[in-house]
Structure 1
Amino acid sequence: MFSKVIHKATAENEISNAPVIINYNGDVTWFEKSVYKSTCSMTVTNYPFDVQTCNLWFGSWTHPIYEIDFRILGKQGLDVSQLEKYSVWEVSSTEVDRKEHGGGKIPTYSIITFRFELKRRLTFMNGLLIVPCIILSSLTLTVFCLPPSRPDRTMLAMSLFASFLFLLLMLVETAPPSASSTPKLG
């Protein structure tokens, strides 16, 4: 009936006084408070300059639209003001969409899709990987400027090699383990 979902989400429900609004015509609006944790597959080909897209689907798989109808309240978009400001990720765009699936002999179900586009913040990566790579690359050019007879040329070249190896290990350590591709930077 529905396409395969590759995202996993778990909910931690709070036992609280969740407000319920009952209208005169029988419509019930329930504001349930839940925290959802989800994972998305990542493509890190352009790491650390990558942009990831994550989709979250909410709907009922057992109750048709005449029993539970998911709707979007307002068209102002998603409120991302409560997200952590100092996270590695920055929300660059959001979308909310409602679709109806089924029809005919199959009951119709409503599904709401939240789409997040996340962009990696570069402040941490600049200091950790990019600036040291630029400095080491410029030092590599100085190895070729030194005369071959100098004994410190070999020592400088070996030190640069060890530094690049260390940076490569740092790249492997900071890259996401669930990545589906290899970064170009490596």
Structure 2
Amino acid sequence: MNILCNSYVLCYLQDEKNQVMSILAYIDFHWNDYKLRWDPNVSEAFDATYSSRFIVNYDGEVQQNPPGIFRFICKVDVTYYPFDTQTCFLKMGSWTYSGNYINLDFMLSQIIENLSHSSLFSFVAGVKGHPVNASKLPYGENPGSYMLNESIDLQVYLHNGEWDLMNTPGTRVVTPFGDSSYHELYYYIRIRRRTLAYGINLIIPSLVISMMTVLGFTLPPDACEKITLGEQNHIILKQASYQLTYETTLMLRFLRNQNVDTQ
């Protein structure tokens, strides 16, 4: 059975502290089942009011659109924070049935193959009025594996206020196992942090504190302005710490003139 998969992402949320990404999306599955075919010209009365989560056509085409909130682990690399770029991926596949029973594939791949039969497929798809070049390239050594530079439909995507969505590549991996093979679809989400808010709330106050600290060493030791300058640095530091997006762990605090370590 050939199952085509197309994913629509509405929005996402990046939890940097717990290294978890959550996306609100619905996945569009299409397949054909010959057991569900019927003649639409038959005039016999039949009951079609049965509640179902599937859309079935007379030619056997079946469609399912299950929505949901998908949460998955996304390791965060903050080496270049706040000018960092993160890449998260979501894997989809069948552990029960092999590729002999379920041939899982991207719906976008079938669209490309219908447009061209060369070794490199490309076409222009409109995403909210903006053309996006999508292409299909071989991936790995196993036949049937390939890579797409765009794997997620973004027609209903809502822009994030903290991150910019760069691209959504995808790969189809076919892994041989015995006399059969297993198919897996990888959806990659590459996001880049928006730095304007961090520049105003974090970078600029840090530079001001650094310059004022260096300026304090130029004042005489007995100058009263040296104490005033230090207090101003402390106030600016407190204001900058309140602008962080999430709370950091309190490493040390003073309680009754004793040092108490806290977690």
TM-score of the superposition, structure 2-length normalised? 0.51
Answer with 1 or 2: which has the greater Rg.
2
Alignment partner, residue 179 of structure 1: none
Deviation at 1:11, TM superposition (A): 8.8
Which blocks of at least 5 consecutive residues in structure 1 are unaligned?
Answer: 1-5, 176-186
Alignment partner, residue 102 of structure 1: 176
Taking a change above 3 Å as real, the CA distance of residues 7 and 139 of structure 1, as seen in their structure-2 partners, is closer
Deviation at 1:132, TM superposition (A): 1.1
Give the whole-Å Cα distance in 1 for the aligned partners of 2:205 and 2:21: 37
Alignment partner, residue 43 of structure 1: 77
Richer in helix (by share): 1
- 1:54-93 aligned at under 5 Å gives the runs 54-75=88-109, 76=134, 77=150, 78-93=152-167
Deviation at 1:130, TM superposition (A): 1.0
- 1:113-152 aligned at under 5 Å gives the runs 113-152=186-225
Conserved 8 A contact 1:18-1:33: no
Q: In structure 1, the residue corresponding to 2:246 is in which secondary structure?
A: helix
RMSD over aligned Cα atoms = 3.5
Moved over 4 A (4+): 6-18, 20-23, 168-172
Deviation at 1:151, TM superposition (A): 0.8
TM-score of the superposition, structure 1-length normalised? 0.69
Q: C-alpha deviations, 1:16-66, integer Å up to 9, x for none?
A: 75545675xx7x553423234223121223222221110111111111112
Q: Which has the higher contact order (CA 8 A, sep 6+)?
A: 1
Give aligned pairs, total: 166
Conserved 8 A contact 1:58-1:113: yes
| Percent identity of paired positions between Structure 1 and Structure 2 | 23
Which blocks of at least 5 consecutive residues in structure 2 are unaligned?
Answer: 1-18, 28-50, 110-133, 135-149, 249-263
Conserved 8 A contact 2:205-2:236: no
Deviation at 1:110, TM superposition (A): 0.9
